[in-house]
Amino acid sequence: MLFNCICISFSPADKHTKQVRAGSGVLEFRNISHAYGDRLAVENVSLKARAGEVTCLFGPSGCGKTTLLRLAGGLMPVQAGEILLDDELIGGKGRDIAPEKRAVGLVFQEGALFPHLTVAKNVAFGLSGPDKQAKAAELLALVGLAGFEKRYPHTLSGGQQQRVALARALAPEPRVLLFDEPYASLDTQLRRDLREQARRMIRRTGTIGIVVSHDPEEVLEMADSIVVLEEGRLRQSGSPAQIHDQPATEKIAAMFGNGQLLPADYSDGAFRHVFGDWSATCLSGPEPVPGPVSLVVRPDALELVKDANGYPVVDVRLAGVTMTVHVEAPGGEGLRVSVARSAGIEPGERVRPMPVPAGIFAFARSEA
């Protein structure tokens, strides 16, 4: 990641607190472009993040997510475009407000708490006034760590340290909270718990929350709005339901729902591929023009019919209340199908994958 492993909180201007609590705050990126030497990291990206909501910047490594976060935090100057907070220019056109004056809190991949300070003093770091320790205690209670005030970071679990980091970022009442994959190193259930807690804090405080992630499950669970980036460009933005159900590109369709690519040819209302012919009525998206297509097939968009003349089951893996069945075509093309455990599918059996409505998307494919 581009950030060092540290958590910094910046103090807001008091005059904006009521406005943020009312949920009217907006952080806006207008036509942002940024390069590192000859490499263009972000190209003409525009987006808005609103108070009381979580906006997730999603995409593979190197797509520009962290660059946008650094620009929003004032850790780098804006090269082209503008960044505005409630219509006030904070970066661009020769104006870049210093990080400590932006009312922005950052939570990085590792909390990196100060090891020589107690938990309470870590949370109160950067605050002033006689009530700072009381405020630290209140925030610790808010993140489920009441009674931990006198503990030191080395006595905490990774999840507890990240909760302290969140409390510290919230302490100065920032108008914007920026998260750079803060829970990536934690176990699955703990990540889920902390994501939900951060989401509740953002909603409760009316803060503008921006989260960087390359985990599709995480963004679907956490986001109010998703911004999909690819090679520095904004490919699609919308609600989790819109991104999941109406993907704009083949790659986006494949990233969500554990999609798999299946080359096919489309004509006369049917898709022809190595697993047979499927009617276009199985599509979730618009029907393509005749010609080569790439089908993006989600495992739960298929059912299996036992057929002695079908395709062999090469593996069956347990996936909680369902099973993932791996079916193989004669040329070695594989297909994963999610079925109920009660289906009783075993390796070595022969089956025929058949589509069910929804979960299959078609995109034009180059013949090259």
- At 89 the pLDDT is 95
Residues 120, 104 share a domain: yes
Residues 302, 193 share a domain: no
Total Cβ atoms within 10 A of residue 86: 17
> Could you tell me the CA-to-CA distances from 142 to 18, 137, 167, 197 in Å, in that order?
20, 9, 8, 9
- At 366 the pLDDT is 67
> How far is 146 from 201, CA to CA, in rounded Å?
16
- At 5 the pLDDT is 34
The count of C-alpha atoms lying within 13 angstroms of the C-alpha of 7, restricted to the half-sphere facing its C-beta, is 31
- At 18 the pLDDT is 36
SS3 label, residue 367: coil
Q: Apex CA 217: angle with CA 214 and CA 220, to 5°?
A: 100
* Residues 76/83, Cβ–Cβ less than 8 Å: no
Out of 225, 249, 273, a domain closes at: 249
- At 183 the pLDDT is 76
- At 302 the pLDDT is 96
Residues 143, 233 share a domain: yes
Residues 199, 147 share a domain: yes
User: Is residue 315 situated within a structural domain?
Assistant: yes
Out of 249, 275, 310, a domain closes at: 249
User: Is residue 2 situated within a structural domain?
Assistant: no
- At 7 the pLDDT is 36
User: Is residue 80 situated within a structural domain?
Assistant: yes
**Structural tokens at position 332:** 């070695």
Q: What's the pTM value of the predicted model, to 2 decimals? A: 0.86
> How far apart, in Å, do the first and last CA atoms of the chain sit?
35
Domain total of the chain: 2
- At 108 the pLDDT is 75
Residues 242, 112 share a domain: yes
Q: One-letter amino acid identity for 174?
A: P
CATH number, domain containing residue 274: 2.40.50.140
> How far is 186 from 191, CA to CA, in rounded Å?
6
- At 345 the pLDDT is 95
Domain that holds residue 182: 8-249
CATH number, domain containing residue 181: 3.40.50.300
Residues 136, 46 share a domain: yes
Residues 245, 261 share a domain: no
User: Is residue 205 situated within a structural domain?
Assistant: yes
Residues 347, 278 share a domain: yes
pLDDT tens string for the chain (368 positions)?
A: 333 333 333 333 333 333 334 346 999 999 999 999 999 999 999 999 999 999 999 999 999 999 999 999 999 999 999 999 999 999 998 899 998 888 898 887 666 789 999 999 999 987 888 899 999 999 999 888 999 999 999 999 988 998 898 889 888 889 999 998 877 777 888 888 888 888 988 998 899 999 999 999 999 999 999 999 999 999 999 999 999 999 999 999 999 999 999 999 999 999 999 999 999 999 998 889 999 999 999 999 999 999 999 999 999 999 989 999 999 999 899 999 999 999 999 999 999 999 998 889 999 986 54
User: Is residue 1 situated within a structural domain?
Assistant: no
Residues 261, 220 share a domain: no
Residues 244, 262 share a domain: no
Residues 274, 235 share a domain: no
SS3 label, residue 204: helix
Residues 268, 239 share a domain: no
